Amino acid sequence: MANDPVEFLQRYKENRNIEIAGFLASQFAYGKIDIFKKFLRTLFELMEDNPYEFIKKGKFSALSKLYYRFQKGKDIVLLFNTLKRVLDEYGSIGTMLKSFYKGDIRNTLWAVREHFFGNGNELIFFFPKQSNTNPLKRWNLYLRWMVRKDRIDVGLWNFIDKRDLIIPLDTHLFKIGQCLGWTKCKTPSYKAACEITEVLKAISPEDPLKYDFFLCHMVGIGAGCTGRKTLACVGRCVLIDSSE
């Protein structure tokens, strides 16, 4: 798990800290892994051993000096102020999502955005506006961690059924989907994520994201999937070997 942001959740034992660690780790999980993990290490060091209490105290001046790619210090401070509002109003991120959830995670996230930001443009990167194309990769990763339960995922939430989860569509999963014909989409999108999820659901109806971690790390990263099936794939990719 050293090459996956899920490691940041495993620093904590209290559910309220695990939940916040998962949100932050998933939302900043973009770009090169060594770079975003370096940023996350700095961020978690500033929160010391208790992210929940750090947010509840509301003293975020130390965060103003941070930045990561598109997010400057003021954006990070605003994000933490928003998380404080979530905790003040609902007690936890899970309770907040549950209050808006009616069976569709996209509609839930859009309702959350409207509640906290109305028609404003603040923090769109973290709280997305309505879009038919956004694959919601980082939110779907967070949901996988929070809903599923195994040696990787922590399974803190029971108000979403794991059969309703959507694949966190990163570049690796998209290339695998293209290579194996799991999606006909030309670019990563919500439709592509749903198409790939449906294929996985045919394999594991009750738990379609069961193989997400394996696919990403052992096939996408480990086998260096390029999105095209070639002779070079034989002997390198376990999926190609099993189908030959």
Domain ranges in the chain are: 1-160, 166-244
Whether the predicted pLDDT of 222 surpasses 60: no
pLDDT in tens, 2-58: 578 899 998 999 999 999 999 999 999 988 888 999 999 999 999 988 999 999 999
Among 188, 172, 91, 40, which residue's Cα sits nearest to residue 83? 91
pLDDT in the model for residue 233: 58
**Cα angle value 171/174/178 (rounded, 5°):** 135
Whether the predicted pLDDT of 236 surpasses 90: no
57 vs 219, residue with greater confidence: 57
The model carries a pTM of: 0.92
pLDDT in the model for residue 89: 97
Q: How far is CA 135 from CA 50, 138, 192, in A?
A: 31, 9, 8
pLDDT in tens, 29-42: 988 888 999 999 99
pLDDT in tens, 145-192: 999 999 999 999 999 999 999 999 988 899 888 888 999 999 999 999
Three-state DSSP string of the chain: CCCCHHHHHHHCCCHHHHHHHHHHHHHCCCCCHHHHHHHHHHHHHHCCCCHHHHHHHCCCHHHHHCCECCECHHHHHHHHHHHHHHHHHHCCHHHHHHHHCCCCHHHHHHHHHHHHHCCCCCCCCCCCCCCCCCCCHHHHHHHHHHHCECCCCECCCCCCCHHHCCCCCCHHHHHHHHHCCCCCCCCCCHHHHHHHHHHHHHHCCCCHHHHHHHHHHHHHHCCCCCCCCCHHHCCCCHHHHHHC
Q: Are 112 and 127 in contact (CB under 8 A)?
A: yes
Q: Write the single-letter amino acid at 235.
A: G
Question: What average pLDDT does the structure give for the chain?
Answer: 90
Span 211-229, average pLDDT = 70
Share of the chain above pLDDT 70, in %: 88
pLDDT in the model for residue 207: 97
Cα-trace Rg, the chain = 18
Which residues are paired to 149 by β-bridges? 154
Instruction: For residues 76 and 84, give the distance between their C-alpha atoms in angstroms, rounded to a whole number.
Output: 12
Instruction: For residues 193 and 141, give the distance between their C-alpha atoms in angstroms, rounded to a whole number.
Output: 12
Q: Are 108 and 102 in contact (CB under 8 A)?
A: yes
Dihedral in degrees, nearest 10, Cα atoms 94, 90, 102, 136: -50
